[in-house]
Chains A and B, each alone.
Chain A
Amino acid sequence: MSMAHVAGEAGQGARTSKRSQILEDRPVNLDGFVEEWPEVGLVAMDSDNDPAPSVRVEDGVIVEMDGRQHADFDFIDQFIADRAINPSVTERAMALSAVEIAHMLIDPKISRDEVIAISQGLTPAKLLEVAKTMNVVEMMMALQKMRARRTPSNQGHTCSARDNPVQVVAEAAEAALRGFSELETTLGIARYAPLVAIAQQVGAQTGRGGVLTQCALEEATELDLGMRGITTYAETISVYGTEAVFVDGDDTPWSKAFLASAYASRGIKMRFTSGTGSEVLMGGAEGKSMLYLEIRCILIAKGAGVQGLQNGSISCIGVPGAVPAGIRAVVAENLIASTVDLECASGNDQSFSHSDMRRTARFLPQFLSGTDLICSGYSATPNYDDMFAGSNLDAEDFDDWNVLQRDMQVDGGLRHVPEAEILAVRGKAARALQGVFSYLDLPPITDHEIEEVIYAHGSKDLPFRDVLEDLKGAQSILDRGITGLDLVKALEATGFRDVAENLLAVLRQRVAGDLLQTSAILDADFNILAAVNDANDYAGPGTGYRPTGARWEEMKRLRHVMSAADPEQEAV
């Protein structure tokens, strides 16, 4: 029977369901979904084209890996076989079944170190096979144990659609106060970078001394800013899962490994970045699944000897998000990075869904399990200002995030801050930058701009700056060789001694190099927390990190909580 006949109104058009219309109009139906298309790599983790795991060692060298002989290794296979996998452990580790290894991952009685003793011998295809035996609950259980640093933390984005440094300094100060331990910015106009990076640094040290800052740029430029001490870490050093795409991205595992050591040689913390879906997006997935290719990236990072990896699809989240089990694959990639003992900055940093329910579901695994940096990063401004094309979370979600922390007793790295404190820190940061700009002969920041940025929500609320003058100023920063130490002097000279001391303390860290170790961050007292002295010791109920004491009390505070002492009043 035709549908028209069933509807009984042939010739007049079928009646439609009111409910269907309401569902049709739901935001989730604006999201993009596609059928799996394995030939181009549009499949999350279940592709017949992925290789079967195998390994063969001869004279201490891996000569066969995942079905390929060494003569046929592409440069990624070569790099992984030579550097990422422990040849003296691999044959024994690979002899374990994927299910046995998955059991080790989720069994709290098997320590993280015991798991790593095995994972260091696993090939990409084997790690994929392990992940395929696990559902998301099992992955989350494993992630809770395999996260490198005991204390979870969070990273924010502090950008401006106008690359307005006055906005960025205020946002960085507020973001630091709210609890982010790392901040990241990027530009609409690349040449604005010096001013925006300076603003982020000054803002961060005003909000909470010890927050680390990065400016995402082209590789050589980003390294240059780091060398000057205007930024204090780097992250967007990207690696890719097929040789063709890596070359398209104008790098190789060797150039990236050299770059990684370059950062360390200047005492600067760094991590690589990768993510499911990048190879599909760049048209070179070689018919493999997204997760298989991402696992190759994870092992490239391991082989290069970087301390950590940003992954969780990152900017490509719309790609795994479009296919079945895509978000499960994203949890898997965070888990696998942690399983090979890398710090994991776990995505949740790119808008991909119109549905509030869906974008919440997307971050829950990392939030509930805890990762080294749950978001990488959370837009601390409204999304229209986020120059990473919008994050999964933005400034308008702060109160929801804090409620979820309180609801679940889960530490998501943030806290509620009363408005008066926020306004004060935004104003102080803007005045500090005004002082720095004046001291460094940069285009001035007016008192009017400061007043507006204190109360602003986003760049639309702010007066325009003279962009051409700012760009000349930015160039002069580079030409004059201005460094982080010059910022310290500028802050001290213009009456912001405490901010200057904070920045000096962060710069001093690069002499000691303690921030180079796995998952290292600074707390509010400038103590290092790293997967060395704050190693994850989760071993089941009652163990590991749980928010208690002062931190739990802090997490209980929200914008509006009724007082127990006087139900007519709100708690202060």
Chain B
Amino acid sequence: MSGLNPKDDYPLGSRRPELIKTPTGKQLADITMEAVLTGEVQAEDLRIMPETLRLQAEIADAMHRPQLADNFRRSAEMTALSDTRVLEIYNALRPRASTEEELLAIATELEESHDSPLCAELVRDAARVYSRRGVLAN
């Protein structure tokens, strides 16, 4: 925990820019028009890093918004997933889209291949509840 305090540190972009990096290690101040035109900055640079999401989670916690903070911590894990995989898992969580085994396999994949225990827990929780409520596939 970096001990962030919303009064002094939010918005991170203006108050604590040194804490923020792009996926290629650039600072916010490096994302300039010139850098875009030379190709130095690419679309992948306009993505948020898991570390930044965890800092925003600290801000949310400090604002007494624990569920928002948990959302950010799940999203920090999800930065590691490709856009395609994110959409696939979302679709798999829809009613009657997956069997219990399929959901549990996704949870295992999240935990073991993507270091995403919080997302895995969400999926396992869904599998349990869907089973009890009859919204699994077949």
Binding site for B on A (CB under 8 A): 74-75, 78-79, 82-84, 113, 116, 219-220, 223-224, 227, 229, 243, 246-247, 250-252, 254-255, 257-267, 302-307, 341, 483-486, 488-489, 492, 497, 500-501, 504, 507-514, 516-518, 527-528, 530-533
B46 and A485 contacting across the interface, CB-CB below 8 Å: yes
A492 to B90, CA, bound (A): 36
Would you list the 8 A-B pairs with minimal beta carbon distance, nearest first? A305-B71, A512-B13, A264-B75, A267-B48, A305-B67, A254-B126, A265-B78, A255-B93
Pick the residue among A220, A264, A483, A532 that contacts B63 (CB under 8 A).
A532
CA distance A305 to B123 in the complex (A): 16
Q: How far is B43's CA from A504's CA once the two chains are assembled, in angstroms? A: 11
Q: How far is the CB of B123 from chain A (nearest CB, A)?
A: 8
- Whether B95 contacts A533 by the Cβ 8 Å rule is no
Would you list which residues of chain B between 1 and 20 have a CB under 8 Å from chain A? 6, 10-14, 17, 20
Q: Are B70 and A305 closer than 8 Å at their CB atoms?
A: yes
Q: Identify which of residues 80-138 in chain B touch chain A, using a CB-to-CB cut-off of 8 Å.
A: 81, 83, 86-87, 89-91, 93-96, 119, 122-123, 125-126, 129-130, 133, 135
Given A508-B28, A511-B22, A511-B45: A265 in contact with B37 (beta carbons within 8 A): no
Q: B31-46: contact bitstring with A at CB < 8 Å (1 yes, 0 no)?
A: 1010011000111011
Most chain-B CB neighbours within 10 Å: which of A74, A84, A255, A507?
Answer: A255
B interface majority secondary structure:
helix
The answer on a CB contact under 8 Å between B43 and A229 is yes
- Beyond the given pairs A488-B33, A512-B12, 13 more chain A to chain B contacts, judged by CB atoms under 8 angstroms and listed by A's residue number, are A75-B129, A78-B129, A83-B67, A220-B90, A247-B135, A250-B95, A252-B93, A254-B123, A258-B119, A262-B87, A511-B52, A513-B72, A518-B65
Closest to A113 in B: B64
| Cβ–Cβ contact A514 & B78, under 8 A | no
Residue among B20, B22, B46, B89 with the most chain A CB within 10 A? B46
- A305 contact from B33, B37, B55, B68, Cβ within 8 A: B68
A306 to B48, CA, bound (A): 17
A511 contacts B83, C-beta separation under 8 Å: no
Residue of A nearest to B89 (CB): A258
Least CB distance from A159 to B in Å reads 26
- 14 pairs, A vs B, C-beta closer than 8 Å: A83-B67, A224-B83, A255-B95, A258-B90, A261-B75, A302-B67, A485-B43, A486-B43, A504-B33, A511-B46, A517-B59, A517-B63, A518-B65, A532-B6
On chain B, the residues within 8 Å of A262 by CB distance are 75, 78, 86-87, 90
Chain A binding surface, main DSSP class: helix
User: Contacts A255-B93, A533-B10 given: A508-B119 contact, CB under 8 Å?
Assistant: no
B contact residues around A501 at 8 Å (CB): 33
CB pair A260–B28 under 8 Å, yes or no, is no
Q: Are A265 and B28 in contact (CB under 8 A)?
A: no
Inside 8 A of B93's CB, which chain A residues have their CB? 252, 254-255, 258
Complex interface: chain B residues within 8 A of A265 (CB) = 48, 53, 75-79, 81, 86
On chain A, the residues within 8 Å of B10 by CB distance are: 514, 517, 530, 532-533
Q: How far is the CA of A456 from the CA of B46 in the complex (A)?
A: 36
By a CB distance below 8 angstroms, the chain A residues around B53 are 264-265, 513, 516
Q: Which residues of A contact B31 (CB under 8 A)?
A: 504, 508, 511
With A220-B87, A267-B47, A516-B72 known as contacts, the answer to whether A341 contacts B36 (CB < 8 A) is no
Closest-by-CB residue of A relative to B91 is A220
Contact of A511 among B6, B20, B36 (CB under 8 A): B20
Residues of chain A contacted by B89 (CB below 8 angstroms): 258
Do B129 and A512 touch across chains, with their CB atoms under 8 A apart? no
A303 and B20 CA atoms in complex are apart in Å by 28
A338 to chain B, nearest CB (A): 14
B71 interface neighbour in A79, A306, A533, Cβ under 8 Å: A306
Q: Do B129 and A492 touch across chains, with their CB atoms under 8 A apart?
A: no
Residue on A nearest B41 in the bound complex, by CB? A485
**Do the beta carbons of B95 and A514 come within 8 Å of each other?**
no
Chain A residues with CB under 8 A of B13: 508-509, 511-512, 514, 528
Contact B79 A251 (CB under 8 A): no
- Supposing A220-B87, A254-B126, A265-B78 touch, asked if A510 and B48 sit within 8 A by C-beta, the answer is yes
Are A304 and B95 touching (Cβ within 8 A)? no
Collect the chain A residues with CB atoms within 8 Å of residue B41's CB: 485
CB distance from B101 to the nearest CB of A (A): 17
Cα distance A303–B43 in the bound complex, in angstroms? 32
A160 to B95, CA, bound (A): 34
* CB atoms of A513 and B43 under 8 A apart: no
A170 CB → nearest B CB, Å: 25
Known: A262-B78, A518-B68. A485 touches B36 (CB 8 A): yes
Are B28 and A511 touching (Cβ within 8 A)?
yes
